[in-house]
Chain A
Amino acid sequence: MGTLRAESVGIRATGLTKSYGSVQAVRGIDLVIAPGETVAMLGPNGAGKTTTIDMMLGLRRPDAGTVTLFGVSPATAVRSGLVGGMLQTGSLPDCLRVRELLSLVASYYPHPLSVDDVLARTGLGDLAERSTTRLSGGQAQRVRFATALVGNPGLLVLDEPTAGIDVEGRHEFWQVMRGLASEGKTVVFATHYLEEADAFADRIVLMAHGRIVADGPATEIKANVGSRSVRATLPDVDPESLRALPGVTNVERHGQTVILACSNADAALPALFAKFPEVKDVEAAGGSLEEAFLELTAEGDGPRLQEVAK
């Protein structure tokens, strides 16, 4: 295992593409993730997050491009016990109790955690003797999380890990994740909740339409996708002067149209009208992340993509 870790890159994806029939799910992903990083893959449904994750885990073969985990192929990394994963879909095998399932999965890995430890950490202590088929959705999701952890892998890849978990459960979940990250594990998780990505990840990889549209520290991305975006027709204005407006975090120009990502649209709009009286066709888009993505990424690829993104 020492030799596998010699490579200082945790995950390296180069030129990944993947299509299903006529739908291009992933359109060229280049990504380098260092060991110990916690990275959120953020994007609306259909952005290509799951396909990218499946390729990272070796569950899908890229049409083009390569992925390595700790310098080796995903299959080799998986066989060496370096990877723990939580897939987006799937339920638990039947005829087993929760503790038994975790012991079983632990037995596959070279250096597993203690099952009791994992049960305690994931709040499953009371459910240890429960049959896997008699769990609520949220409980089953916790067990799936526990199966990803119990092998004590260096890399955790989690596809929408908190889907179906209630608010309190989410809180506990991220508590556990913080602990893992502080132990130096590399964590990659997909989510479509900006708050989750922001609260937990060191870095956010923003995906839309099968591409990475932004990649950087959480604070930066959050500012870019903002809570609202304002679109207006405003030719011949220097984007920098728009960026200087209060509440505006980012500016994009598409021909005569400018798109302002706003952390505070209530402050930005009056300032916009005051400073540029010639402004026309002002629209303030709703605050959903999905809309923000579409605003930020609508360039070039028209309605077809929006359909895919839906």
Chain B
Amino acid sequence: MSGATHVRYELLRSLRNPLMYALSVALPLVIYYAVTSGNRHAFVSAAGVSFPLYFMTGMAAYGAMFAAIGPGARLARDRARGWTRQLRITPLRARTDYLAKVLAAYLVALPALVLVFLAGATLGVRLDAAQWFEMTGLLLIGLVPFVLMGLILGHVIATDALVQAMGWLVVFFALFGGAFGSLFNSGAMLTFVKLLPSYWLVHAGPSALIHGDWPAQGWIVLVCWTAALIPIALLAYRHDTDAV
């Protein structure tokens, strides 16, 4: 048995979902162009972060978050249709299934990111190759908690409530993470939003530009979220599939 076919079909199923294109590709691109066209020469910080760069990362993060939770939505649909139960009487291992879903999420997220980057380039974003590379790397790493959240929701939420739940989840994290612009520049709320994984996702671009990396706090926040979500995902999986 090889997991390659499973990965291929997970990806195929992602790519056949029109909602996926709308949310992870079209929506961020449209918002990006609409908002950035008039602010091409603005700067968001004294450190030289241009508005097009900041907002490019924000929209890339926004679209990629939708791509990352996509497999969770598919899981919920399969669960509602009884297909996950059918899979449990085939030799497919749960971990192969999970890995395939994560891989498929990334294979969808990556082109979604690249498209927003291309849009950024047309609006004057200029980074050197290492910075593009670092920014992409940070964005992909920062998506891990969102892939996990998608899978958790896929195991616990009924499908009719799922699209809404996932929509609100992404909007919440995107908004407070600053994907549409920084909401807080000081005080307790800034401290709070810096505890969200999306804050660091959104700041992957500026971080890459200025430091080539996140500050330590970014790594700590992401590791903590991931460490907390993995056991929750396992619990959700067990709760869902336990023979009763």
Interface residues of A (CB under 8 A from B): 57-61, 78-81, 83-85, 87, 89-96, 100, 103-105, 107-110, 144, 147, 151, 157
Q: Is the CB of A87 within 8 A of B243?
A: no
Contact residues in A for B88 (Cβ distance below 8 Å): 58-59, 78
In the bound complex, CA of A107 to CA of B3 (Å):
8
Binds A, one of B11-19, B110-118, B186-194, B216-224: B11-19
B161 within 8 A of A: no
Interface on chain B toward A: helix, strand, loop, or mixed SS?
Answer: loop
Most central of B12, B74, B85, B243 by chain A CB within 10 Å: B243
Task: Tell me how far the C-beta of B243 lies from the nearest C-beta in chain A, rounded to whole angstroms.
Answer: 4
Task: Tell me how far the C-beta of B187 lies from the nearest C-beta in chain A, rounded to whole angstroms.
Answer: 46
In the bound complex, CA of A98 to CA of B9 (Å):
13
Interface residues of B (CB under 8 A from A): 1-2, 4-6, 9, 12-13, 16-17, 74, 77-78, 81-83, 85-86, 88-93, 242-244
Q: Among B4, B5, B85, B244, which residue has its beta carbon within 8 angstroms of that of A87?
A: B85
Q: Among B74, B82, B85, B89, which residue has its beta carbon within 8 angstroms of that of A78?
A: B89
Closest A residue, CB atoms, query B243: A61
Closest B residue, CB atoms, query A75: B243
Q: Is the CB of A107 within 8 A of B89?
A: no
In the bound complex, CA of A110 to CA of B12 (Å):
23
Q: Is the CB of B90 within 8 A of A78?
A: yes
Task: Tell me how far the C-beta of A99 lies from the nearest C-beta in chain B, rounded to whole angstroms.
Answer: 12
In the bound complex, CA of A96 to CA of B1 (Å):
20
Given contacts A59-B85, A100-B12, A107-B2, contact A93 B78 (CB under 8 A): yes
Q: Is the CB of A94 within 8 A of B77?
A: yes
Contact residues in A for B92 (Cβ distance below 8 Å): 108
Closest A residue, CB atoms, query B78: A93
Q: Is the CB of B86 within 8 A of A87?
A: yes
In the bound complex, CA of A147 to CA of B17 (Å):
23
Q: Is the CB of B12 within 8 A of A95?
A: yes
Task: Tell me how far the C-beta of B19 lies from the nearest C-beta in chain A, rounded to whole angstroms.
Answer: 11
Given contacts A90-B82, A95-B13, A107-B5, contact A60 B244 (CB under 8 A): yes
Contact residues in A for B82 (Cβ distance below 8 Å): 87, 89-91
In the bound complex, CA of A84 to CA of B74 (Å):
24
9 A/B residue pairs, CB under 8 Å, sorted by A? A58-B88, A60-B244, A83-B89, A84-B89, A93-B78, A104-B5, A107-B2, A108-B92, A157-B89
Q: Is the CB of A58 within 8 A of B89?
A: yes
In the bound complex, CA of A80 to CA of B12 (Å):
27
Closest A residue, CB atoms, query B93: A79
Q: Among B5, B6, B9, which residue has its beta carbon within 8 angstroms of that of A96?
A: B9
In the bound complex, CA of A104 to CA of B90 (Å):
11
Given contacts A61-B244, A107-B1, A109-B1, contact A90 B9 (CB under 8 A): no
Task: Tell me how far the C-beta of A225 lies from the nearest C-beta in chain B, rounded to whole angstroms.
Answer: 30
Contact residues in B for A95 (Cβ distance below 8 Å): 12-13, 16-17, 74
Q: Is the CB of A96 within 8 A of B91?
A: no
Q: Is the CB of A105 within 8 A of B13?
A: no
In the bound complex, CA of A75 to CA of B12 (Å):
29
Those 9 A-B pairs whose CB atoms lie nearest each other, nearest first = A90-B82, A107-B5, A61-B243, A95-B13, A95-B16, A85-B89, A108-B92, A91-B81, A81-B91
Task: Tell me how far the C-beta of B244 lies from the nearest C-beta in chain A, rounded to whole angstroms.
Answer: 6
Contact residues in A for B89 (Cβ distance below 8 Å): 57-59, 78, 83-85, 87, 157
In the bound complex, CA of A181 to CA of B9 (Å):
32
Contact residues in A for B9 (Cβ distance below 8 Å): 96, 100, 103-104
Given contacts A90-B85, A95-B12, A95-B16, contact A60 B243 (CB under 8 A): yes
In the bound complex, CA of A92 to CA of B77 (Å):
10
In the bound complex, CA of A204 to CA of B240 (Å):
34
Closest A residue, CB atoms, query B80: A91
Contact residues in A for B74 (Cβ distance below 8 Å): 95
Q: With A58-B88, A103-B9, A107-B1 given, can you name 19 additional A-B contacts, CB distance below 8 Å? A: A57-B89, A59-B88, A59-B243, A61-B243, A78-B89, A79-B91, A85-B86, A85-B89, A89-B82, A90-B82, A90-B86, A91-B81, A91-B82, A91-B83, A92-B83, A93-B83, A96-B9, A110-B1, A157-B89
Closest A residue, CB atoms, query B83: A93
In the bound complex, CA of A110 to CA of B1 (Å):
6
Contact residues in A for B5 (Cβ distance below 8 Å): 103-104, 107
Contact residues in B for A151 (Cβ distance below 8 Å): 90-91
Q: Among B16, B17, B85, B91, which residue has its beta carbon within 8 angstroms of that of A109?
A: B91
Q: Is the CB of B1 within 8 A of A94?
A: no
Given contacts A81-B1, A81-B91, A107-B1, contact A96 B13 (CB under 8 A): yes
Q: Among A60, A80, A91, which residue has its beta carbon within 8 angstroms of that of B91?
A: A80
Contact residues in B for A57 (Cβ distance below 8 Å): 89
Closest B residue, CB atoms, query A80: B91
Q: Is the CB of A108 within 8 A of B1?
A: yes
Q: Is the CB of B85 within 8 A of A58?
A: no
In the bound complex, CA of A78 to CA of B243 (Å):
14
Q: Is the CB of A94 within 8 A of B90?
A: no
